[in-house]
Every structure is written in structure tokens, then in C-alpha cells.
Amino acid sequence: MNILIIDMTHGGVKIAVSYAKRGHEVYCYDIYNTLKGINRRMLDIYSIELIQLEDLKKFHDEIEVIYPIHLPLTQDEIKKYNPHLKYTFKTHHKAIAELLNDWGKDIDKIEITGVKGKTSCAFMLKEILIDDNPLLLSSLGALVYEDKNEIVLQKNISITPANIKETIDLAYKLANPICGGEIKGRIYDCAIFESSLGASGIGDVGLLTNIVEDYSIARNNSSASIAKKQVFNCDIVCCQKEDLDMHYMDINHQKVNSFSLKDKNANLYVENIAYSLDETIMNIEYDNINTKNGELVSGNIEIKTFAPGSHHALNVLGVVATALSLNIDESRIIAGLENYKGIPGRTNKQIIDNSTIIEEINPGINTKAIEASISMLNNKTDYIISIGGDYGITCEEIDEDAVGELIDNLNEEIILTGEVGKSISNKTNKKITYIEDYKSVYNLAIENNKNLLFIYRSDYRKLSER
């Protein structure tokens, strides 16, 4: 059967080459016209033809179309180019699951998706599984750990489904360099994969962090909650109880472990919690957690970790549920989370001179994220609160009008910064201080012995290079 891969921007080249290596007749459609350089050369090497949808009229019999979940075309719009073909459609996620069908049968595999908290959850799970030399794909890079030492496989890598396979292939190349002699086995004993819009289904456990914002995708033909429904292709799914009830009541899955900060009908919930900017203490109850070995486990556990706000605590619950689902001992969960101190590029705390700096750096920013961040502060008068960011970070849009309205309703003094901050300043009805360079905001706080809450929409890799 002929295979058409759509979208060379978000991992289509990797998928196309993988199928071509298996002997399939593969064609590609570069919908965003971004194909160039080595990626274009890879298609030539494997005799993969680049076509337009109009070329479908030349095809006969059957064709399989592999497309990204956010594709701004419907299946009917594709079919109209040749209504006589017999079409089958498969997402990039499902294609990756097919390509990796025989991989990793004997190791623990976790897939993480959600609107917020994916990267933080990935690194918390890394701390818990550190003795198993985890392989990790996150928005901060493709990494592998050996004897607790981090090895960077690739720094600038997106969390598309194709890069799950790319991360696995990079780890194989690390273990088996050219002219390295005898082929070695794996250098990792577990794997954690972050994915932006769903999961492939290869995970023993799929963690859906939250649907805090159900934004539109695919030219408004779909949404975040629909795309992330793919997580239910995993053997076990951990999902926030409130999201499960709101978005996925129609799902028939035998092994779903729910978690919640408030709902005691969840499989895992908080009995007591004491928030702190340094270390939050959580007493967690769990009941009838489905596990990888087929058991149902119940009990309670006390966690001490870096989780200064309720949105961070919710991430912790998802991580604990995921770890319990994999039959990981409580002692490892406790130790791993106690060792977690936040990560550069997401939420972290640092002390500079006499100032406490809390950074909330994220490719996505919305009103709920801002409200949650501000709510962490016990004494807001001690803090300068800065909001801003860059454009061109993710496919997720920022609702500047909503952020402007939120700022109008805040009593705290706000400083706006960056490109996003400048635009938001035009959406507010009150006078707001704007400082173009975010570094000047840091200097202002430190020079005046003030603390700083820095909420910034950015790719940390970009921010850290400045």
C-alpha cells in the first residue's frame, strides 16, 4: 500500500524514512513548506517523493494517510482530491506506536501529555526512576542518565511523536558508535516521553496532567481535550478526576487512575497539604490504584517536595499516581520527590543577594497560570510581579485580552516585559509599568532588595541564551 505522510515540519521526515526503510512506497506532503537541508536530502536518499495533494489523482486503489493530530485539513478535504481511492487515516502518534511495536517490552515506559505541567512531571519522574538510568524526551531536550549523570542526546528537539523514535535512535547511536565493534544492548532501563498533543500508546502508563485550557486546534475542527484523548491508548492512564468527569466520561478503559486535590472520590487525593515556597508537605491517600502487574493497591504516603502552588501540587499527584501504577516502592517515590527542586525553564526558586526570585517560565501562559502563580505568594507586598514573554514559541495561542482583563482586576502592582508584555499593555485599562528588557526587571528587584515573581512566556532554551 502507498503511504502519504503529511507535515514535514513536525516530524514527518522521521516517520517517512522509517516506513521507507521497511520497504513501503512512501510519499510526503510538506504542508507548511519548511522542508530544506538535510531533511530534504534524507527524502532523496530513500527515494521518497515529495508531492502536492493535487497529485493524488494519479494514484490508484489504496492509500494510507499519516497526518498530525493538529492538521488544518479534514479527511473529507483530502479525499476530494481523488474520491476513487480507498483511504485509511492514521495519526503521527499511531504511526509511531506501529513503528515501535516491538521496542521496550521489558522496561517501564511512561508517556506524558496535558496542557500544563508536562515537563515538570517528566523531571519529577526522572528523579524517582534515576536508579534505572532513564531515557527522557522533554521540551528541554532528549536526555539519558547513566549512574545519575545526565547525557545530552540532543538539546533542541521538539516533543512531537516522531521524536520519541528519534530519542530512542539517538540513545542507540550513543551506545553503538560507528566502528564501535560488538553491538551493545540498551543503556537505559526505563523511558519517559513528553508529548504535546496526545500519546502514541506505547506507554505502560500514560499521564494526562490536566486540561486547564481546552484550546482549539486543527483550524477549530478539534481541541486540546480531543487530541489528548489519545493517552487512553496506553495500558494504564492517570488523569485528573475533574478532567475525566468533564471531558472523558465516554471513554471505556479498564485501568484509569484518577487524582485530585479536592475530590475524595478520586483514586488518589490529598488529605492534608501545607504549602511553602521551600518545601510543601502533602499527605496523600490512594485507593484501588491499577498497577502494571495487575494488582490494586491502596494506602497513604507523605510527600515533601518543591511544589509552591496548587498547580504544582496537582503535578505531584499525577506523578505519584503514575509511579504507584508502575509498582514503584513508596520509599523511591518519597526520596525522588524530596530530591526534586524544580527545573530551569519551568518553576524554580533562587536567592540572589537579598532577593528571592521565583521563575515561572513556560511556552504557554494564560490567565489561570498567572492567577495560580500569584496565589503562591504569602506576602505579595514583598514581591515585584512581572508578566511578559516572547512570540513564536508554541502553536498554543495567548489570549491577550483575557490577560489584560485579569491585570485590570488585580490589586498587586504589575510590571510588563518583553514582546508579549508590550502587547498586553495595550489591552489594560490602567497604567502599567513596561520594561522592555526582562533583565532590567531582575536588576530592579535586586537593587531594591525586593523579591520577584517572574512569569514569562518563553522557550527557556531561547531565554537562557540571552
376 vs 246: which has the higher pLDDT:
246
Walk across the sheet containing 108-113 and list its strands: 149-154, 141-146, 135-138, 190-194, 108-113, 205-208, 236-240, 256-260, 268-274, 280-290, 296-305
What is the pLDDT, as a whole number, of residue 52? 98
- How crowded is the C-beta side of 380, counted as CA atoms within 13 Å? 12
Average pLDDT over residues 277-299: 97
Domains and CATH numbers, the chain: 2-98 (3.40.50.720), 102-255+315-329 (3.40.1190.10), 347-463 (3.90.190.20)
Q: How confident is the model at residue 461 (pLDDT cuts 50, 70, 90)?
A: very low
Of 434, 419, 427, 431, nearest in space to 401 by CA: 427
- Report the alpha-carbon distance of residue 370 to residue 387 in Å, rounded: 8
In this model, does residue 463 exceed pLDDT 50?
A: no
Residue 199 has pLDDT above 60, yes or no: yes
Q: Crossing angle of helices 12-21/37-45, nearest 10°?
A: 20
pLDDT at 466: 35
CB 138 within 8 A of CB 123: yes
pLDDT, tens only, 127-183: 999 999 999 999 999 999 999 999 999 999 999 999 999 999 999 999 988 766 677
How many other CB atoms are there within 10 angstroms of residue 150's CB atom? 11
Q: Indicate whether 298 pLDDT > 60.
A: yes
pLDDT tens string 227-236: 999 999 999 9
Give the pLDDT band (50/70/90) at residue 32. Answer: very high
d(Cα 151, Cα 256) in Å, to the nearest integer? 33
Residues in the chain: 466
Closest Cα partner for 313 from 163, 210, 182, 462? 210
Q: Binning pLDDT at 50, 70 and 90, where does residue 260 land?
A: very high
Phi-psi region of 358 (alpha: psi -120 to 50; beta: other; left: phi over 0): beta
CB 3 within 8 A of CB 63: yes
Tell how strand 149-154 and strand 141-146 pair up.
antiparallel
Mean pLDDT of the chain: 92
Residue 447 in contact with residue 416, Cβ under 8 Å?
Answer: no
Cα–Cα distance between 390 and 404 in angstroms, integer?
Answer: 16
Buried b (16+ CB within 10 A) or exposed e, 371-401: ebbbebbeebeebbbbbbbbeebeebebeee
Beta strands in 132-221 (DSSP E): 135-138, 141-146, 149-154, 190-194, 205-208, 216-217
- What pLDDT is recorded for position 278? 86
Q: Report residue 465's pLDDT band, with 50, 70 and 90 as the boundaries.
A: very low
**What's the pLDDT at 345?**
63
Q: What is the pLDDT of residues 311-360, one digit of tens each?
A: 999 999 999 999 999 999 999 999 999 999 998 767 888 899 999 999 98
Bridge-based pairing state of the strands 296-305 and 280-290: antiparallel
Residue 281's SS3 state is strand
For residues 28 and 8, give the distance between their C-alpha atoms in angstroms, rounded to a whole number: 8
Q: What is the pLDDT of residue 396?
A: 54
Q: For the segment 35-83, what is each residue's pLDDT rounded down to a tens digit?
A: 999 999 999 999 999 999 999 999 999 999 999 999 999 999 999 999 9
What sign results for the dihedral spanned by CA atoms 277, 283, 289, 295? positive
Which spans in 118-232 are helix H?
Answer: 118-128, 162-175, 224-227
Q: What is this structure's pTM? A: 0.89
- CB of 307 within 8 A of CB of 313? yes
pLDDT per position as a tens digit, 370-423: 888 888 887 777 899 999 988 765 555 567 888 899 899 888 889 999 988 999
Q: What is the arithmetic mean of pLDDT over 416-433?
A: 91
